[in-house]
Structure 1
């Protein structure tokens, strides 16, 4: 990987607890793969797998699934929560994968490819994919998440925008964006490929869970490193404003979180 930001055990635990699992995206990936071969595939690799939420979703469709990441802490968390016998994990950079050439049926990167070396990673993808193998890159913008809660929805999203505006100056230059992924799509030499700039995925979360997820973002963690007291104050203020807009007192009150995914799928000739 070109960038290393998610490597302490505390962050890995929060990542596992609060980050959303992309079930809808796995369905899209498998729909793209299956027209060429109606069978169970051999090997899937989830690059930049983090704590493995997306990795395990691939297990029913492949004989072997390997999650790779540069972070030992993230991989420890993934392995500790791995209940799938056909899922294993390996520590390595995204640009130096421990697989033979033409070996991999699916190479996926779920909310991770924006951290990779954009010159070396595509070459490594092309090396390890089998002919007919597929590449799937997906992500979402951290400042394009929405909340829904009845008549309070509009007010909640104004509060979210206030939060995202505070965090934007602390975003890493390589933070996920649809523009970056569209550039990866357009530069991909494979002729059979698909782009989708907006797939809405909804989950029921609590107010506290939403705040917990925000606190896993790289921009929030950068703010926290610069000003821990200010970061905590921001979290507390946003939580209180959300509760006030919802007219509830408990931070365990449930609401709907909407994440807008974008993704590219491509098949190696």
Structure 2
């Protein structure tokens, strides 16, 4: 059974506000892989575990129809509120039972969600709905993000960040194990498709206010678990980290811009013509 998180309205709002979507470059890598396998125009993309829809939106201009799916009504409500593209729709369902016909999808994606699924069942379901030569793309990023600020020592900033991540590690879901990247490596090895790729380390830099970086980390499941167990401890930890970062940067505003380097990994796989 997949693990259900981020279903409340408050968390859905935080997810939309702070969570990051793959960069245009990463989406283009997915499309380049798909274009090698199938002729355009592309008809249907299914974004599974879409959350509040940031990644789903990136697919709209490349497909006649894009459908984001999620188990959370609050997440889907948030996604719908921020979607104006007429070719995007959303469906509530679990990742392991997708409401699509056999061989109907050109692309199936899961962006920062696959590790929460019942992975073998989801891979079977993705195989079922993919067209022959259709593609599966599973993307995620690690928590060990790097922070930099002009004219300030990045090493000092990242020592504080690493201490933040270490403090949250005991609250990491047991379902994820020591590192979710292992689930993606395992999936890459188990998918019986001859045409597949594994990319383990792709750094993407994103400028954002320090407040957004803090909100991003606070949206992670480990911080949310700490917040649920001990709200006072979670708030004190977050405030301490933020103050220490501002002190190193010699700023007084949490809206000061920083550059956050995010490490992505992803796998791409093409369903054979004769499957």
User: What TM-score, normalized to structure 1?
Assistant: 0.97
Contact in 2 for aligned 1:45/1:67 (Cα 8 Å)? yes
SS in 2 for 1:95: coil
> Does 1:18 find its partner at 2:18?
yes
Show the counterpart of 2:48.
47
- CA drift of 1:40 comes to 2.4
- Aligned residue runs from structure 1 range 1-269, under 5 A: 2-23=2-23, 24-142=25-143, 144-150=144-150, 151-175=152-176, 177-269=180-272
CA distance in 2, matches of 1:134, 1:36: 8
CA distance in 1, matches of 2:205, 2:19: 13
| Structure 1: gaps spanning 5 or more residues | none
CA distance in 1, matches of 2:16, 2:167: 25
CA distance in 2, matches of 1:57, 1:198: 21
Moved over 3 A (4+): none
Contact in 1 for aligned 2:38/2:133 (Cα 8 Å)? no
- CA drift of 1:38 comes to 4.6
User: What TM-score, normalized to structure 2?
Assistant: 0.95
| Structure 2: gaps spanning 5 or more residues | none
Contact in 1 for aligned 2:38/2:134 (Cα 8 Å)? no
CA distance in 2, matches of 1:54, 1:193: 21
Contact in 2 for aligned 1:140/1:177 (Cα 8 Å)? no
SS in 2 for 1:79: helix
